Amino acid sequence: MVDIRINDRPMKVSSDTTILEAARQAGITIPTLCHMEQRPPLGACRVCVVEVKHAPRLMAACATPVAEGMEIFTNTKRVRDGRRSVLELLLSEHNGDCRICVRSDDCELRKIAANLDITKVRYEGELPPARYDDSTPALRRDTEKCIKCRRCITMCTDVQGVGALAPQKRGYGTEIGPAFSLDLGDVACVQCGQCAAACPVGAIIETSHVEDVWHALEDPEKHVVVQTAPAIRAALGECFGYPPGTRVTGKMVAALRGMGFDAVFDTNFAADLTILEEGHELLERLKHALVPKETVGAAAGASQEGAAGGSAQGHGAGGGFNPRGGGGPGGNGSPTGGGDGHGGGSSERDGHGGHNGDGGHGPGPLPLITSCSPGWIKHAELFFPDLLPNLSTCKSPQQMFGALAKTYYAQNAEVDPANMVVVSAMPCTAKKFEAARPEMRSSGYQDVDYVITTRELGRMITSSGLSFDELEDDTTDSPLGQSSGAADIFANTGGVMEAALRTVWEVVTGSELPGENLHFQPAQGLTGVKEAEATIAGTKPEFSFLEGVTVRIAVAHGLGNASKLLSEVRRDPSRYHFIEIMACPGGCIGGGGQPRPTTDEVREARIRGIYAEDEGKPLRKSHENPDVAKLYSDYLERPLGPRSHELLHTHYERREV
């Protein structure tokens, strides 16, 4: 601890504190631009300058550690003048028009300028080269607005480990962007939008689908339905001044109805469905890896829930699998090479769900890795193509929803899918990319037409003239609207794992997932990579191959963490059975399309909101969702059945950019 004084007020702080942190502890606001929590200081922008007694120059508060006896002044004329000069210089090199800028409401540059009472700019700066980059489906870059704070780089390179954006050139000529001033579409970018979420100004934003949605709503010929992602209900309120984590599900539904959607559905429904499909996929892969070839057949009598029917066995994905002995399943046979190499495989394609993916091969290898995060999918296609066979073939809930909306629902509602428009409201920018993927047309049309982010939805509600505060809670429509609490927690890191375990555990053992209130604590929280294991006991006869098996799982959020975990999987393919990966830090609640700012505090608040939503539901497990059961009995028949494969599953490809 050291003694310091801030604005003449004495305080004790620990010696590894920066001036910025000390000031915050004292309740003093210091403006910052380049600074990001939990990241080493850059000291690049210098808007955070303060006066330190005896120091010849103003000091950057974010980059200066406190020292014994230090006397700091945050609000002298010298400080104000210093900050104003910095701001005026930034503004002089910034080419934007706040009147018509999408960031006018939450622009940090504008806000700091206003706080410093800047009404004119004394410098004539050189404007950066103007380039408008609309080369990717999800994002737009406007280099004229970039203030070179480098926050996007911190996200893209340090947090996500993608490295699409980096400083180019040097000195005054520095540009922040892809290699050699190329467009984002020319380099490897996963479309996660973390850059856009971090940018303090309007230099990187999501591609807007707002006009398209208004247009569709206006068109009397079109039947326009909307789905809302789990993560937005605990964040949308922030667009209207509610604290992070406030649950606004009912108001959100009311707003969407007020905006004129013909039906208001819920991606949550498709999340429950995902759990059934993916849960059974997991059981299949486990069975394939654990049951010795010779004894198969014996375990054939699969129940209605039991996708693990005795089929997939003849074709070894990756050679010998070890019969499990006692404790852990030493090497669960199929290492990463899985999906290929057994092309000639065997025959029993239409036994009880023996094949998955499009090819009719045996079940893919373990570990099974979740596939609901399109930023993660693109990351895998770019950087871990060898692990693509490990990815679940399940489409994301958004795309499952789209495919069902234009088939199952269209039939029920007697709507021509050609006249149907499916809109998604998502916390995610990568969902825009995903919806546009050419394979996402199982209905014969583009399954999801438009994707708006939480931020875009907030703006649409505002411009529709609805007063969000006053909206009465409303509920979603049938048949794609109902969901269990397990679907809600798809919103956060660890949630898909927990939701899957709630169902799989019960399918396998007939009893509830042990753990307080159905939670699986080890998967929760903001630790970058989480691991856990659970030993299965009390299996039903058809799952006796899992009796005593210790299933090892891992959860990673943020692609940098995911890459670390996957390097481990490459090194030791038998280490885990099941892995959840979400591209964004914190999971979808920290998505690139969520209201700004997203800090860890905000992430935690949103996660609390999501768990409260989960716990408030009468149904907590995906397999209890009656509308999902009805969908199976009326239409899909069974998890991993032929129609599921056609509509709900997909494939992946290696890519360069």
Q: Does 157 interact with other proteins (rule: CB under 8 A)?
A: yes
Q: What is the largest CA-CA distance in the chain?
A: 84
Judged by CB under 6 A, the stretch of 43-51, 300-308, 338-346, 394-402 that binds ligand FES is 43-51
Which residue shows structure tokens 């006869």? 541
Q: Does 571 interact with other proteins (rule: CB under 8 A)?
A: no
Half-sphere exposure (CA, 13 Å, Cβ side) for 220? 0
Q: What is the nearest approach in angstroms of ligand SF4 to the Cβ of residue 274? A: 23
Q: Does 187 interact with other proteins (rule: CB under 8 A)?
A: yes
Distance CA 332, CA 296 (A): 16
Which CB atom, from 345 or from 595, has the smaller least distance to ligand SF4?
A: 595
Judge whether 439 counts as a catalytic residue: yes
Distance CA 105, CA 463 (A): 13
Distance CA 393, CA 358 (A): 9
Name the strand (E) or helix (H) holding 554.
strand 550-557
Which CB atom, from 47 or from 415, has the smaller least distance to ligand FES?
A: 47
Q: Does 126 interact with other proteins (rule: CB under 8 A)?
A: no
Q: Which of 131, 214, 143 is nearest to 463 (CA)?
A: 214
Judged by CB under 8 A, the stretch of 163-171, 212-220, 233-241, 277-285 that binds other proteins is 163-171
Q: Does 23 interact with ligand FES (rule: CB under 6 A)?
A: no
Distance CA 280, CA 566 (A): 23
Judged by CB under 8 A, the stretch of 46-54, 77-85, 173-181, 480-488 that binds other proteins is 173-181
Distance CA 4, CA 505 (A): 56
Q: What is the nearest approach in angstroms of ligand SF4 to the Cβ of residue 462? A: 16
What 3-state class would DSSP assign to 484? coil
Interface characters, 68-87, with ligand SF4 (x: CB under 6 A): --------------------
Judge whether 431 counts as a catalytic residue: yes
Judge whether 278 counts as a catalytic residue: yes
Phi-psi region of 336 (alpha: psi -120 to 50; beta: other; left: phi over 0): alpha
Distance CA 207, CA 185 (A): 13
Interface characters, 109-128, with ligand SF4 (x: CB under 6 A): xx------------------
Return phi, psi of residue 31, to 5°.
-70, 145
Judge whether 34 counts as a catalytic residue: no
Judge whether 394 counts as a catalytic residue: no
Q: Does 555 interact with ligand FES (rule: CB under 6 A)?
A: no
Q: Does 149 interact with other proteins (rule: CB under 8 A)?
A: no
Using the rule CB under 8 A, which residue among 28, 89, 101, 166 binds other proteins?
Answer: 166
Judge whether 588 counts as a catalytic residue: yes
**Window 132-191: residues binding ligand SF4 (CB under 6 A):** 139, 145-152, 155-156, 160, 162, 164-165, 176, 184, 189-191
Identify what 346 binds: other proteins, ligand FES, ligand SF4, none; CB under 5 to 8 Å per kind.
none
Q: Which of 596, 593, 598, 472 is nearest to 210 (CA)?
A: 593
Candidate list 126, 439, 512, 637, residue with the active-site label: 439
Omega of the bond leading into 522 within 30 degrees of 0 (cis): no
Burial of 633 (0-12, 13-18, 19+ CB in 10 A): exposed
Q: Does 254 interact with ligand SF4 (rule: CB under 6 A)?
A: no
Q: Which of 426, 582, 453, 483 is nearest to 270 (CA)?
A: 483
Q: Does 64 interact with ligand FES (rule: CB under 6 A)?
A: no
Which residue shows structure tokens 């990568």? 430
H runs (alpha helix) in 43-199: 77-92, 108-115, 151-153, 194-198
**Window 594-633: residues binding ligand SF4 (CB under 6 A):** none
| Total residues in contact with ligand SF4, by rule CB under 6 A | 41
Using the rule CB under 6 A, which residue among 13, 23, 44, 607 binds ligand FES?
Answer: 44
Catalytic residues: 278, 281, 372, 392, 431, 434, 439, 588
- Residues in contact with ligand SF4 by CB under 6 A are 94, 96-98, 101, 103-104, 107, 109-110, 139, 145-152, 155-156, 160, 162, 164-165, 176, 184, 189-195, 198-204
- Residues in contact with ligand FES by CB under 6 A are 32-35, 43-48, 60, 62-63
